[in-house]
Structure 1
């Protein structure tokens, strides 16, 4: 099962770290927050991480939790697509880095997603090809660390053979549709610019 801390705990952790929270208190002001949470015992072969998608509008705050992986799959840990090593997104907040755009993986499964198109993120580069996660060699840049669809029919124990080369990937396609529809509405109503925050379970 993936980790679902209460919304007030998420906002507490983000505030303590000095991270930005979008509140959408005025018309035209951004209100959608996208927050990933990586499990303490990171498992590259499972969708055991969380993305919390929430608004903080006074009197109407709401949060939705979805099962994702924030880790690259074992296949890509053993077969990096980048000579510098497989990308593992570093915990932190990435302001105005993403937008709704077309995700175009090498597999050819193109679809709309929330893509890193606007700003840099920091990744670790794991290049020893042992299939295990090594949080070493940080590097910042434009790496296409997108938030996209994974299996058609996911569940919490679904093995993660080759869905992520460093992206944040949903376990369930129906969940992803709900997420993407919410992002599309925010893009249409406010602006097609999103920030992404990645926390650790140990932060809670």
Structure 2
């Protein structure tokens, strides 16, 4: 797992013009940052999600295993006629809130959901098992590119992501949601998600 320091994360984010949330006097102002690896492997959880925030004036950071890429089933069977969604790197300010992912289904659960503002995705339409990040094939909108957990069943069937940012480990996801719940209490139900690339470091 790629584990940059808080200082390096801040340096990279500021160089890109991204906001860094820092309120030394108020805890739980969360910076939620995904990092896509240089050699992505669809179907694996080889990317990193970091959450860092001030706690009693001191920076704290957590690292989690996730995937920022769609799984193999959805690369081959897009749910959108334009192609499978792959979240484009960038900062999506105030786009997310705590809500129910897959509402009404057995797999429904509390997650960080893209409900409030648009995000930009690449559309991979050639139905192979590789990620195609083509600059001319992007789309911006409300696509429910959520941050959620999956199950062993969905991992085995490669049906865990149609473009979402996904945790495989239930305990890591539970820890992440606890942080988001504290962030909601302190700053309201609006969150920013930033997606970087390992090459940025």
Select between 180-189 and 60-69 the one with higher mean Cα deviation.
Answer: 180-189
CA distance in 1, matches of 2:128, 2:66: 23
When the two structures are superposed, what TM-score results if normalisation uses the length of structure 2? 0.92
The residue number in structure 2 matching 1:112 is: 110
Contact 2:113–2:147 (Cα < 8 Å) also in 1: yes
CA distance in 1, matches of 2:186, 2:9: 25
- Aligned partner of 2:173 among 172, 176, 182: 176
Cα separation, partners in 2 of 1:160 and 1:88, compared to 1, 3 Å: farther
Q: Does 1:192 align with 2:189?
A: yes
Q: Does 1:6 align with 2:8?
A: no
Contact 2:73–2:158 (Cα < 8 Å) also in 1: yes
When the two structures are superposed, what TM-score results if normalisation uses the length of structure 1? 0.91
Offset, 1:5: 1.1
CA distance in 2, matches of 1:81, 1:107: 17
The residue number in structure 1 matching 2:144 is: 144
Aligned residues: 198
Cα separation, partners in 2 of 1:30 and 1:174, compared to 1, 3 Å: closer
Offset, 1:162: 1.6
The residue number in structure 2 matching 1:128 is: 126
Offset, 1:68: 0.1
CA distance in 1, matches of 2:195, 2:157: 20
- Aligned partner of 2:163 among 162, 166, 169: 166
The residue number in structure 2 matching 1:203 is: 200
For structure 1, which runs of at least 5 residues remain unmatched after alignment? none
Aligned CA-pair RMSD: 2.0
CA distance in 2, matches of 1:93, 1:196: 6
For structure 2, which runs of at least 5 residues remain unmatched after alignment? none
Q: Does 1:62 align with 2:82?
A: no
Offset, 1:122: 0.2
Contact 2:70–2:161 (Cα < 8 Å) also in 1: yes
Q: Describe the SS at the equivalent of 1:184.
A: helix
CA distance in 1, matches of 2:152, 2:186: 29
